[in-house]
Amino acid sequence: MVTTDEKGPLTAKKKSVIIRSCDGDEFLVSESAAVLSTSLKKILEEKEDRLIHLSDIDNKTLAMVIAYLSTHADDGLSDDLKRSFDQEFVSGKEFDVLKYLVLATDTLQVTCLCYTVAKKMADIMKNKLVEWVRREFDIQNDYTPEAEAEIRRLDAWAWDDRQLEDD
């Protein structure tokens, strides 16, 4: 258990936890960063153990999430800097990488990052074809050709991409 003495300002800064990815890599993370994840916070409250093993997050994804958590736990950074870090963080990332990330943020319950990644994914997919979306989300088309044509007819204008703004 965490005793009151250990919560002093000096020791709190130094306190850290080890997080292990599913492929065995270990990351040393300050507790202040770790608790920004609701799931990690709960684990830390429940057990004394300073080693947390995440069985479904790989090392590359975990490294990204931890970079995010550490930046957001840094009191020395202004909100503006954190916001631009967030933009930088998702920019240029491939859709596949974002899928791993959004899953990890869902598992770890890092709501803010989950929203940022979801927004980026929406921005990437908004102009894509339905076939691209099915492929990326691994979805089987369960419509009959007639039923699909009917839905497409319903809002025929929506298929005119000139109406959609680019970035």
Partner 1 sequence: MEIHSISIPKLPDDVIIEILSRLPVQSILKFRCVCKSWLSSISSQKFVKTHLKNSKKDSDFRQHRIMLNCRGNFKQFSVRSLLYEPIIDTFDTNDVAHNPTKSVNWVVGSCDGLICVATNKKDLILWNPSTRIFKRLPDFGVEINQSGYFAYGLGFDKSSDDYKIVGFFNNSWFLFEVTVKVYSLKSDQWKTIKSFEGRWLMDDPATFVNGKLYWIANFELELKSIWDIVFLDLETEEYGILQVPDYVKDCLYSKLGASGECLYVLCNHLTSADLWIMHDCGIGKETWTKMVSVPYNDDFWMNSYKREFYVLKNGEVLLHSGSKFLIFDTKDGSFRYPEIRSSCDFMAASTYVESLVSPVGLR
The CA-CA-CA angle for residues 13, 64, 125, to 5°, reads: 140
The residues that touch partner 1, with contacts defined as CB under 8 A, are 22-23, 56, 58-61, 96-97, 99-100, 102-103, 106, 114-115, 118-119, 121-123, 125-127, 130, 133-134, 137-143, 148, 151-152, 154-155, 157-159, 163-165
Complex with partner 1: residue 48 or 155, whichever CB lies closer: 155
- Nearest approach in angstroms of CB 68 to partner 1 is 17
CB of 119 to partner 1, least distance (A): 5
Q: Please give the C-alpha separations between residue 129 and each of 125, 133, 143, 161, in angstroms, as whole numbers.
A: 8, 7, 16, 10
Nearer to partner 1, 6 or 148 (CB): 148
The least distance separating partner 1 from the CB of residue 139, rounded to whole angstroms, comes to 5
Decide whether 31 or 86 has the Cβ nearer to partner 1: 86
Phi-psi label, residue 24: left if phi above 0, alpha if psi -120 to 50, beta otherwise: left
Which of 18/22 has CB closer to partner 1? 22
Q: Is 142 helix (H, G, I), strand (E, B) or coil?
A: coil
Q: How far is the CB of 101 from partner 1 (least distance, A)?
A: 11
